[in-house]
Chain A
Amino acid sequence: DGGITQSPKYLFRKEGQNVTLSCEQNLNHDAMYWYRQDPGQGLRLIYYSQIVNDFQKGDIAEGYSVSREKKESFPLTVTSAQKNPTAFYLCASMRRAPGDTQYFGPGTRLTVL
Chain B
Amino acid sequence: GESVGLHLPTLSVQEGDNSIINCAYSNSASDYFIWYKQESGKGPQFIIDIRSNMDKRQGQRVTVLLNKTVKHLSLQIAATQPGDSAVYFCAETSNDYKLSFGAGTTVTVRA
A binding-site residues for B, Cβ under 8 Å = 1, 4, 6, 31, 40-45, 48, 50, 58, 90, 92, 94, 96, 98-107, 109
Contact = CB atoms under 8 A, between A and B. Distances in A.
A48 B98 contact: yes
B41 A43 contact: no
B interface, size bucket: 20 to 34
Interface in B92-106: 96-99, 101-104
B24 to A, nearest CB: 13
Contact of B42 (A50, A92, A100, A107): A107
Given A42-B101, A43-B101, A101-B49, A107 B96 contact: no
Given A104-B43, A107-B41, A107-B43, A98 B101 contact: no
B45 to A, nearest CB: 7
Contacts, number: 54
Nearest to B4: A42
Interface of B: 4, 9, 34, 36, 41-46, 49, 51, 89, 96-99, 101-104
Interface centre among B44, B45, B89, B96, by most chain A C-beta atoms within 10 angstroms, is: B44
B43 A42 contact: no
Contacts of A31: 97
B50 to A, nearest CB: 11
30 contacts: A1-B42, A1-B43, A40-B104, A41-B103, A41-B104, A42-B4, A42-B89, A42-B104, A43-B101, A44-B101, A45-B98, A48-B97, A48-B98, A58-B98, A90-B43, A90-B44, A98-B96, A100-B96, A101-B34, A101-B46, A101-B49, A102-B34, A102-B99, A103-B46, A104-B36, A104-B43, A104-B44, A104-B45, A106-B43, A107-B41
Contacts of B34: 101-102
